[in-house]
Structure 1
Amino acid sequence: MKNISGIIFFLTISFSINAQFNHLTEKIQSLTPNTMWQQKKAIPLQFPTYHPQGMVKIKNFFYMSSVEVIKSPKNGDAGEGIGHLFKFDSTGTLLEQITLGEGNIYHPGGIDYDGKNIWVPVAEYRPNSKSIIYKVEPISLTTTEVLRFDEHIGAIVHNTNANSLIGMSWGSRNFYEWRLNSKEKVKNKADLPNKLRIKNPSFYIDYQDCHFVGQNQMLCSGFQKYTPTNGTVFRLGGFELINLLDKRPIYQIPIKLWSPSGLAMTNNPFWVESTTQGIKAYFVPDDDKASTLFIYETNLR
């Protein structure tokens, strides 16, 4: 019965995701810098979140990756830490968690959900390093290693249209793409980074978390720090809709929302979904004890 229930669960979720994609990209492209966002909820997360990275929402549950730093990297060393994947509900209560990574590879990044598996990159906490890409079955939290790669991969997306994985490097300055077969095995696993590397032509934000949104497109959120001549640090957050075929932005829009701490709302994990009236967005911009799930909606009619 559990297997049958799982199949029904995945079919239901896959249908729901595909239906959402039909309208979400259009709505994203109707956002403007003057779009009014209304905060609906601010839910404190009731567990140690450490440093949140990526998030997906599956039915009424949230899955969030996070890095627990035990010893900060210094002078080029790897530091020490633990990679987490949390499952929590709409009240902010932790339901389950697993750890991911090994040794110096302990920093999870932005994650994606394809209707079947959650895809999670875990890397060393430094650029130009090493990564392991995992897929996680969300009901059992069974983890499967998919790929090891000699580069820091800070976010991952599964393009189900092309059956490929898109990874983004430290600061999202480069893209990497791996082709999958029907069993989700990587066909070009032996390709070196310099063969796969495609430079990101967009610079105004660094991507923190990205999600596939159909039609060979992904939606990324992130932020960038800007320091005017007076020395005050200004954080600008935004969304970018990206064509996965040529890796170029289709639509770029600043998101002028900040947490009470002053961080851009797109500082780390995010999730968006289409509503009857417009878009609902979920953010967790702050770390650990300050971590709050902010829920915003906008009416685009």
Structure 2
Amino acid sequence: MDCKSRRRLTTILTMLCLGALPVTLAAAELDRDVLAERVTKLSRGTQWKPVSAVPVNFLTHHPQGMVKIGDTLFVSSVEIQQPTKRFPQPVDGYDRDTGAGVGHLFKIDMKGNLIADITLGEGSIYHPGGIDYDGKYIWVPVAEYRPNSRSIVYRVDPETMKAEEMFRFADHVGGVVHDTDSKSLHGVSWGSRRFYRWALDANGKPTNASEAPEKLRTLNTSHYLDYQDCKYAGKSRMLCSGVTEMRLTPEAAPFRLGGIDLVDLADGRPIFQTPVLLWSAAGMDMTHNPVWMETSDAGIRGYFMPEDDKSTLYIYEAEVK
């Protein structure tokens, strides 16, 4: 290496250390890969140690998805103004009406304070789902609050909180993941029973969104969890958190078991699955709705917001070797 090249490398390294340059995509991909590998070392016996519990200082409604960018959280949530009502018999293929509500994307600091709030959706399409961050944009699906319905997928600039509609789709998309390696977007349906894949062009627009949904779908072969919030985990994998509810009798209160799956985006099959044996004092499983996970010195740090309205941000760490 000549002196000029050496000086240039030294300057870049110095700027990185001082925070003058953004984290590179390669570094972000490496962190996702490390997180995915550490997840595969979790087990039912893993001890999750509490780090903190931060009260969220505003009405959160019904939180759905979460990403953490630096020291800022972004949380999608549905404000239910009129609950849906089930029909005695299906009507036009639907088992319930649309209800009414408002979709939100909150920007929150780590002390639980609201920085910004934008609304997403239109008319009966008001239910945001699980969200993902691709290094530049936050991807947010908003759907009708009923299965087999319709959705709008947005991407949001986290700095300006400006939302751009990317496409519409003829099914309930309850969560999205942006595969930055294959330049594709992946969605999960109501209850995550179906997976969808959309190829993206250079502007982030899908090239196949107009195709019939059945041509784009892969059936979920795992019935252990209903995925609530998924994130891209590198190497064409997604890390999904969710819950399964069980009742001993129809009248009994549900027992909620949360967990996480590492899923191969090529065929929709789980690579690794494990329960997460954490519950709030009110009995909500920690992976019930918004979840963010990242690497830490100990192994994995998880951020959870399972409760509605008066939410708490629970932070736990798991040591993995």
Distance 1:13 1:53 in 2: 28
Distance 2:277 2:24 in 1: 31
Partner of 1:115: 135
Distance 1:92 1:14 in 2: 28
Deviation, 1:47, is: 0.7
Matched, 1:245 2:266: yes
Distance 2:106 2:254 in 1: 31
Matched, 1:280 2:301: yes
Distance 1:113 1:228 in 2: 39
- Spell out the pairing of 1:117-156 with structure 2 (5 A cutoff): 117-156=137-176
- Spell out the pairing of 1:30-109 with structure 2 (5 A cutoff): 30-75=41-86, 76-109=96-129
Matched, 1:177 2:188: no
Deviation, 1:300, is: 1.4
Larger Rg over CA atoms:
2
Partner of 2:234: 214
Gaps of 5+ in 1: 1-7
Match for 2:213 among 178, 193, 199?
Answer: 193
Q: Which amino acid aligns with 2:259?
A: G
TM-score (norm 2): 0.89
Gaps of 5+ in 2: 1-18, 87-95
Partner of 1:267: 288
195 and 10 in structure 1: CA distance in 2 versus 1, 3 angstrom threshold: farther
Is 1:130–1:151's contact at 8 Å kept on the other side of the alignment? yes
Distance 2:279 2:167 in 1: 36
TM-score (norm 1): 0.94
Is 1:10–1:115's contact at 8 Å kept on the other side of the alignment? no
81 and 189 in structure 1: CA distance in 2 versus 1, 3 angstrom threshold: same
Q: Which amino acid aligns with 2:110?
A: S
Structure 1 segments of 4+ aligned residues over 4 angstroms from their partners? none
Q: Which amino acid aligns with 1:143?
A: A
Deviation, 1:232, is: 4.8
Is 2:218–2:267's contact at 8 Å kept on the other side of the alignment? no
Matched, 1:166 2:186: yes
DSSP-derived class of the 1:148 partner:
strand
Distance 2:21 2:287 in 1: 28
Deviation, 1:14, is: 3.6
Deviations 1:276-299 (A, max 9, x none): 22000000000002x100000011
Tell me which moved more, 16-25 or 169-178.
16-25
Distance 1:199 1:137 in 2: 31
Is 1:110–1:121's contact at 8 Å kept on the other side of the alignment? yes
Deviation, 1:196, is: 1.1
Distance 1:142 1:163 in 2: 22
The share of aligned pairs that are identical, in percent, is 50
Distance 1:10 1:271 in 2: 24
Deviation, 1:13, is: 6.4
Deviations 1:199-249 (A, max 9, x none): 100111100000001110000000010112594521110000000111110
15 and 46 in structure 1: CA distance in 2 versus 1, 3 angstrom threshold: farther
Partner of 1:234: 255
Deviations 1:120-150 (A, max 9, x none): 0000000011100000010001111111001
DSSP-derived class of the 1:26 partner:
helix
142 and 165 in structure 1: CA distance in 2 versus 1, 3 angstrom threshold: same
Partner of 2:318: 298
Distance 1:10 1:72 in 2: 47
